[in-house]
């Protein structure tokens, strides 16, 4: 919890102010039973109305002070808790941006979402309640005990007899509760992951009419949450009836023995009323303490999950700089004896890969699924760190490049077209935030998407929905390519990014990119695409099978001949 609590340091002054205001409220509550005792014993019983009016005025004045302090305390608590939550969320998000793909694999996406939302909310609520009642609850209990001894020690003894038992119950349940709430948050991770997958596959689910199965699976997920949450709440709520039983027993003892003392004229009525008031305040204090323990148990479970993110080593640095117009020249790419195995895996994905791509060359990579094509491309922008061999960009090892300069030089279009909620122009500017409209339209024309955009009602201001749900597969791919071209990349990486394009559109795309000052690395499964490349590399099980032009591979590579013949046969059929 220490790492999370450090985020309160900037607000120490306000936090202390909140506690002081809370203490003012508490002091008024603890002194008022004394005033009531005075009104009864020295006012009502002695028929001294002036004494009654005096202390009623004092109670009203102190009550107004407590009211003002309470309202101010709530404002302070709200400000501090929300500022704390803002800082915690922002820092977590920044931290996640510094993780490599390797590190991100240790955290499930749904888990990170829960940590940024539900877990932060739990911590936020705990901070708010801490300022409001963290010290108020125990001090109310302790203050009531002290004041009851000041008023009448003989009766005060009965109020404190059960107090140690209550503290033991609270301590034991709090420890168990923290573990239970940690388990519940992990169950929320699973639910979020299922829901996320359901939304991503919504078209497939509707097309296959499996909504009923999905609903049943979701019910099973939330049944686990309901079961664990119910058990946790029942356990935490066990505190209230336990403390009520003990405190009410103590209050009954005070009434029993106090009434005898009053009858024997050894105790004033006002003091008995004051002791009973303190007993009721103790009861309220224990109730607040039980609620606070439940809130802090949640915070402990959530803060440990947040700390796991914050204390994970950063792999990259997030550069905070003003965006500048991008301008790159074509870069050469060279792999020298590169082998690669994914972290925490045993199978080698790439084995002794060596090849060289000249600046402005169009280099196609082909191979069956799982042959290592996408993995190879992901090593160029250092998505993963290679341990064996070297990767050179313009004869300079990628490890010697500043990460921001390296990635600024690369336009990367992944297999799955990734678009963001917002307008088309906002998605294009993701490639270069300072690109002007002329550059955006030029990139769109090269990517063969400009005319489609012009056909939309709002053209470049058209909202495309989450992950481009309103666009076709080909439109999403072309828009993703346009976004990469906006960067004016020195290296353009297209990871099977033209699979949804028809032959005519794809041909126009390659014609538009022919004179682009960039080196093109293209993963493709289509011979028609490979034909347009300067050279083609075949990968088989992570090893280079052959490299050459379309014509030379048709003569020398049996595998390439089989691929070409099978695709030509399919076209004829």
What DSSP character marks residue 120?
A: H
pLDDT, residue 323, reads: 55
Residue 533: pLDDT over 50: yes
Cβ(56)–Cβ(39) below 8 Å? yes
Q: Please give the Cα distance from 365 to 506 (Å, whole number).
A: 17
DSSP 370-393: TSSHHHHHHHTTTSS---EEEEEE
Which range, 346-350, 461-465, 497-501, has the best average confidence (pLDDT)?
346-350
User: What are the structure tokens assigned to 528, written together?
Assistant: 């028609």
pLDDT digit string (tens) for 396-424?
Answer: 998 888 888 888 888 888 888 778 878 88
- Higher pLDDT among residues 242 and 553, named by residue: 553
pLDDT, residue 200, reads: 64
Q: Which uninterrupted H or E stretch holds 545?
A: strand 543-548
pLDDT, residue 455, reads: 87
Question: In terms of DSSP bridges, do strands 348-357 and 333-341 run parallel, antiparallel, or are they unpaired?
Answer: antiparallel
Q: Please give the Cα distance from 206 to 299 (Å, whole number).
A: 39
Residue 113: pLDDT over 80: yes
pLDDT, residue 573, reads: 46
What would the mean pLDDT of 368-389 be, rounded to a whole number?
86
Residue 59: pLDDT over 80: yes
- What share of the chain has pLDDT > 90, as a percent? 9
Q: Please give the Cα distance from 30 to 59 (Å, whole number).
A: 12
Chain mean pLDDT for the chain: 82
Band (466; pLDDT cuts 50, 70, 90): low
Band (337; pLDDT cuts 50, 70, 90): very high
Q: Please give the Cα distance from 189 to 183 (Å, whole number).
A: 10
How far the first Cα of the chain sits from its last, in Å, is: 66
Question: In terms of DSSP bridges, do strands 535-540 and 543-548 run parallel, antiparallel, or are they unpaired?
Answer: antiparallel
Give, in degrees to the nearest 5, the angle at Cα 11 between 6 and 15.
Answer: 105
pTM flag (> 0.75) = no
Burial level of 380, CB count in 10 A (0-12/13-18/19+)?
Answer: buried
Band (527; pLDDT cuts 50, 70, 90): confident
Cβ(83)–Cβ(300) below 8 Å? no
What would the mean pLDDT of 293-320 be, rounded to a whole number?
77
Structural domains in the chain, CATH included, are 2-310 (1.20.1560.10), 333-572 (3.40.50.300)
**Helix locations, 468-521, DSSP H:** 473-486, 503-513
pLDDT, residue 392, reads: 92
Cβ(285)–Cβ(144) below 8 Å? yes
Cβ(104)–Cβ(126) below 8 Å? no
- Cα Rg, the chain, nearest whole Å: 35
pLDDT, residue 536, reads: 92
Band (140; pLDDT cuts 50, 70, 90): confident
pLDDT, residue 492, reads: 92
pLDDT digit string (tens) for 163-181?
Answer: 788 778 777 777 777 777 7
Q: Please give the Cα distance from 440 to 431 (Å, whole number).
A: 10
Q: Please give the Cα distance from 73 to 23 (Å, whole number).
A: 10
Q: Please give the Cα distance from 43 to 508 (Å, whole number).
A: 100
| Residue among 379, 377, 378 at smallest CA distance from 366 | 377
pLDDT, residue 467, reads: 65
Band (334; pLDDT cuts 50, 70, 90): very high
Residue 535: pLDDT over 90: yes
Residue 195: pLDDT over 80: no
- Higher pLDDT among residues 282 and 323, named by residue: 282
Burial level of 9, CB count in 10 A (0-12/13-18/19+)?
Answer: exposed
Cβ(490)–Cβ(519) below 8 Å? yes
pLDDT digit string (tens) for 424-445?
Answer: 888 888 888 888 888 888 988 9
pLDDT, residue 324, reads: 56
User: Does the CA dihedral 269-274-277-283 come out positive or negative?
Assistant: negative
Q: Please give the Cα distance from 211 to 207 (Å, whole number).
A: 10
Band (468; pLDDT cuts 50, 70, 90): low
- Higher pLDDT among residues 221 and 261, named by residue: 261
- Higher pLDDT among residues 379 and 160, named by residue: 379
Q: Please give the Cα distance from 528 to 551 (Å, whole number).
A: 13
């Amino acid at each position: 919890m220490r790492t999370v609590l450090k985020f309160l340091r900037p607000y120490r002054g306000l936090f202390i102010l909140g506690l002081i205001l809370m203490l003012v409220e508490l002091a008024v509550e603890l002194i008022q039973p004394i005033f009531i005792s005075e009104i009864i014993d020295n006012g009502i019983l002695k028929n001294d109305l002036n004494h009654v009016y005096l202390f009623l005025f004092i109670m009203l004045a102190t009550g107004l002070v407590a009211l003002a302090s309470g309202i101010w305390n709530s404002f302070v608590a709200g400000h501090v808790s929300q500022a704390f939550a803002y800082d915690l969320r922002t820092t977590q998000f920044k931290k996640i941006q510094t993780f490599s793909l390797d590190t991100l694999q240790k955290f499930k996406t749904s888990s990170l979402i829960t940590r940024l939302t539900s877990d932060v909310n739990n911590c936020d609520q705990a901070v708010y309640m801490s300022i409001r009642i963290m010290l108020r609850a125990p001090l109310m209990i302790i203050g009531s005990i002290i004041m009851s001894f000041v008023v009448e020690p003989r009766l005060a003894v009965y109020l404190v007899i059960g107090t140690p038992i209550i503290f033991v119950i609270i301590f034991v349940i709090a420890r168990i509760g923290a573990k239970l709430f940690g388990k519940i948050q992990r169950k929320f991770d699973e639910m979020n992951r299922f829901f996320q997958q359901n939304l991503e596959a919504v078209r497939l689910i509707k097309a296959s009419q499996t909504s009923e199965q999905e609903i049943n699976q979701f019910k099973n997920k939330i049944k686990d949450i309901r079961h664990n949450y119910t058990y946790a709440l029942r356990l935490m709520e066990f505190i209230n009836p336990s403390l009520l039983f003990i405190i009410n027993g103590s209050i009954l003892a005070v009434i029993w023995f106090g009434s005898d003392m009053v009858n024997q004229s050894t105790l004033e009525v006002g003091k008995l009323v004051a002791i009973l008031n303190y007993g009721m305040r103790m009861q309220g204090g224990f109730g607040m303490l039980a609620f606070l323990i439940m809130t802090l148990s949640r915070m402990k479970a959530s803060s440990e999950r947040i700390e796991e993110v914050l204390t994970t080593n950063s792999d990259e640095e997030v550069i905070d700089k003003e965006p500048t117009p991008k301008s790159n020249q074509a870069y050469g790419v060279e792999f020298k004896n590169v082998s690669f195995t994914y972290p925490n895996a045993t199978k080698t994905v790439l084995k002794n890969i060596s090849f060289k791509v000249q600046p402005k060359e169009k280099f196609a990579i082909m191979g069956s699924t799982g042959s290592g094509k996408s993995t190879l491309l992901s090593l160029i922008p250092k998505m993963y760190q290679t341990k064996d061999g070297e990767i050179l960009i313009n004869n300079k090892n990628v490890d010697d490049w500043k990460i921001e300069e390296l990635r600024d030089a690369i336009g990367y279009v992944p297999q799955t077209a990734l678009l963001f909620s917002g307008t088309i122009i906002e998605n294009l500017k993701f490639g270069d935030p300072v690109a002007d409209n002329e550059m955006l339209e030029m990139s769109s024309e090269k990517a063969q998407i400009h005319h489609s955009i012009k056909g939309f009602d709002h053209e470049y201001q058209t909202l495309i929905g989450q992950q481009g749900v309103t666009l076709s597969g080909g439109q999403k791919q072309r828009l993703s390519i346009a976004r990469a071209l906006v960067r004016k990349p020195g290296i353009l990486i297209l990871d099977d990014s033209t699979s949804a394009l028809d032959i005519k559109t794809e041909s126009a795309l390659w014609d538009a990119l022919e004179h682009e000052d960039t080196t093109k690395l293209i993963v493709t499964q289509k011979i028609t695409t490979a034909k347009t490349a300067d050279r083609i590399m075949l990968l088989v099980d992570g090893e280079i099978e052959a490299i050459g032009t379309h014509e030379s591979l048709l003569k020398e590579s049996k595998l390439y001949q089989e691929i070409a013949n099978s695709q030509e046969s399919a076209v004829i059929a």
